Structure 1
Amino acid sequence: MPRLPRLAGVATAVLALGLVAAAPATGAEPLVTDARILTHFDLAAGQTPENIALERDGSADLTFAYARQIAHITLDGDLEIRATLPDVANPDTPVVHSALVTGIARAHDGTLYVNYATGTSRTGVWRIPRDGGTPVQIARLPDDGLPNGLALDERHGVLYVADSALGTVWRVPRSGGKATAWARDTALDPLPAPPASGFGANGIKIHGNAVWVSDTDRGTLLRIPFGPGRSAGAVETRASGLAGIDDFTFPGRGDSALAALNDTSRVVLVRRDGTRTVALTQADGLSNPTSVAVRGRTVYVPSAAYLTQRDPNLLLARLRHLLGRV
């Protein structure tokens, strides 16, 4: 969830802070172990990691929101800038009023797709060649929107975009073309800012014949099942009380999700019955985490330090057990 950092010289978007009640872990064993920071980023350079996609070798591709960059991080912690989105004169993105790169998705052939929010005609989905290169806009999204999370359905050749300002899930052909509103619902909307953040639909994943979306202001995790012809079914609230939820992932085949709670610098496991367990905290090195990814039993958590203004980083940890279908 992008917030305007003080380094940009504009006031940070204010969020309603809250604590999430955590169900105790089963037994005395922690859910994750061996947390360590793989690499630290430069806040002054705008290296605020917003979203993550994993390569086959376990390395990571990150969007640096306010630097407008896509960075590649090896398992040794080495950093390479793969692409930079073009500068925009007089950006006017809702809520943040700056141009920023948000969600990222990776195809099996290595092609990267990212969302770019600008408040101009350059707002939309952009494609970046494998191993980097010149970004190309493949779809335009509304100037008054804030495209945030991004998910790729490679089998059906489409991308889904969670729009935090317009409370909409957009559907975009992977090959490029016109975006269509796939789902609109009050449950996807932001709440008025202030006192809320103005961020509605945020993270997005395709899982279990459905599109899942987090709503930051409402603190909810939502499921939108696919209907006939891959249309959007009725929105279901699967979990609530997740104050400051940003992006999330599914670490197993079931409906339990690991979610980043930006405000309180936590990652929690949200089970399919809505109960939750705290997995990682600020004590482990989190600093306003924005997203989560899992490869095998390795957990990746980027932190953007939007509110703490201290130590944006990429943290790795290890799941003690594979979660299967829980």
Structure 2
Amino acid sequence: MPRLPRLAAVATATVALTLLASVPTAASEARGTSPRPVAGGEPTVSDPRIVARFDFALGQTPENIALGPDGSAYLTMSFARQVVNVDKHGNRRTVATLPPVANPNTPVIGAAAALGIARAHDGTLYVVYATGTRETGVWRIKPDGSAPVQIAELPPNGFPNGIALDEKCGALYVADSVLGTVWRVPQEGGTPTAWATGTALQPIAPPAGFGVGANGIKVHKDAVWVSNSDRQTLLRIPVRHDESAGPIEVRATGLDGIDDFAFTGHGDTVLAALIENHEVALVRPDGTHKIVLTARDGLSNPTSVAVRDRKVYVPSASYFAPVKDPNLLLARLGKAKKG
């Protein structure tokens, strides 16, 4: 979920903002359209195009993404409480709908929302559902079409957001934006453990921040990487041999409005969604970054990124864009020589 002001639910699952977020400056939008080579033999992002558009009025706000082996995208539609599959031609089908909650009391947003998503090799999907009730937690969606099942309950006063799966260890990691915690949940379900905590994962209280800390999360090379929206940082948490968390390392700063992210390959180069300014940044292993996609390419509050087979997928939820245009963007990733 993005670094958002408080939201209120309204009829037909739409949402309204009580505060306005910043919009891209003229200089930001003037950075040009693709292709955009990055100096030093780094990846390039080119040929952006919108492959699917959604209906904001129906709560179709694509929040997070997992990819299937056929290149199709599984998207959580946060306020519709749905998982939707979109193929490379833009065709879509509803995979599952999470159950309604009578009186949601979700921190930060006030409404029930489907947030992070991860996919196992057998096609099982794991989705984070934040409700402010006992339904808050991790839900499993099997590929057989059966109804979603809650496999882990997380604190209702928290805001579980991004999710990452480590099938080698049989563990799910969930970033809690309000409690500043990375939860570890057995893949088969069960009692969550507060795997990592600390100031680096904590939000910053208003008015200095928006109360949204740990947000996006990925497992990468024996470590769990986490973004912190309020602190504008990208963090790395080593996984020790006993599977406990090592010391939290700050790997990049100054990433204004960072939401979720993805690695471009086996190295530590990242593409990060910067929700407030409608941008995607390429974050280098040394922590510096460069904007590679903007609103001119079709981004409208981008929330997450996925990479596969030299393709970049970017969902935009359009939560607080002046013009509501929730969509899925597809671009080409140039071959990386380094990183």
Aligned to 1:244: 257
Which amino acid in structure 2 is aligned with residue 124 of structure 1?
A: G
Find the partner of 1:157 among 170, 175, 196: 170
For normalisation by structure 2, the TM-score amounts to 0.90
Q: What does residue range 220-299 of structure 1 map to in structure 2 within 5 Å? A: 220-299=233-312
Q: Does 1:38 align with 2:44?
A: no
Write the distance in 2 (CA, Å) between the matches of 1:183 and 1:118: 22
Q: State the identity %.
A: 59
CA-CA distance at 1:320 after TM superposition: 2.1
Q: Secondary structure at the match of 1:283?
A: helix
Shift of 1:194: 3.4
- Tell whether the 8 Å contact from 1:82 to 1:133 is kept in structure 2 after alignment: no
> Residues 6 and 12 of structure 1 are in contact (CA less than 8 Å); yes or no, is this contact kept in structure 2?
no
Q: Specify the alignment match of 2:103 in structure 1.
A: 90
Report the Cα distance in structure 1 between the residues aligned to 2:15 and 2:90, rounded to whole angstroms.
30
1:189 Cα deviation after fit: 0.6
SS in 1 for 2:162: strand
Distance 2:137 2:73 in 1: 23
2:15 and 2:24 mapped to 1: Cα distance? 26
TM-score after normalising by structure 1: 0.94
Distance 1:223 1:17, change over 3 A: farther
Cα distance, 1:210–1:16 mapped onto 2, change above 3 Å: farther
Give the equivalent residue in structure 2 for 1:70. 83
1:300 corresponds to 2:313: yes
Q: Pick closer, same or farther for the CA change 1:233–1:325 going to 2, 3 Å.
A: farther
- 2: CA distance, partners of 1:82 / 1:307: 26
Distance 1:122 1:13, change over 3 A: farther
Q: 1:197 offset after TM fit, Å?
A: 1.6
Counterpart of 1:11 in structure 2 is 17
1:311 aligns with 2:333: no
Residue identity opposite 1:39 in structure 2? A
Looking at structure 2, the residues matched to 24 and 34 of structure 1 have their Cα atoms a distance apart, in angstroms, of 12
Which residue, 133, 152, 155 being the options, matches 1:142?
Answer: 155
The count of corresponding residues between Structure 1 and Structure 2 is: 325
Q: CA deviation at 1:195?
A: 4.4
Aligned to 1:128: 141
Contact 1:92/1:118, CA 8 A, preserved across alignment: yes
Which amino acid letter does the alignment assign opposite residue 133 of structure 1?
S
Relative distance call for 1:304 and 1:12 in structure 2 (3 A) is farther
Which of residues 192, 195, 198 in structure 2 aligns to 1:182?
195
**Inter-partner Cα distance in structure 2 for 1:204 and 1:164:** 11
Structure 1 unaligned segments of length 5 or more: list them: none
Amino acid at match of 1:241: G
Spell out, residue by residue over 1:252-288, the C-alpha distance to the aligned partner (whole angstroms, 9 max, x if none).
Answer: 1111100000000110110010111211110000000
Structure 2 unaligned spans of 5+: none
Q: Over residues 219-268 of structure 1, what are the superposed CA-to-partner deviations in whole Å (9 max), with x where a residue is unaligned? A: 00000011230100110000000010000000111111000000001101
Q: Decide whether the 8 Å contact of 1:215 with 1:221 is kept in 2.
A: yes
> Aligned equivalents of 1:288 and 1:69: distance in 2?
19
Q: RMSD of aligned C-alpha atoms?
A: 2.4
Matches of 1:172 and 1:182 in 2, distance apart? 9
Offset of residue 133 of structure 1 = 3.0
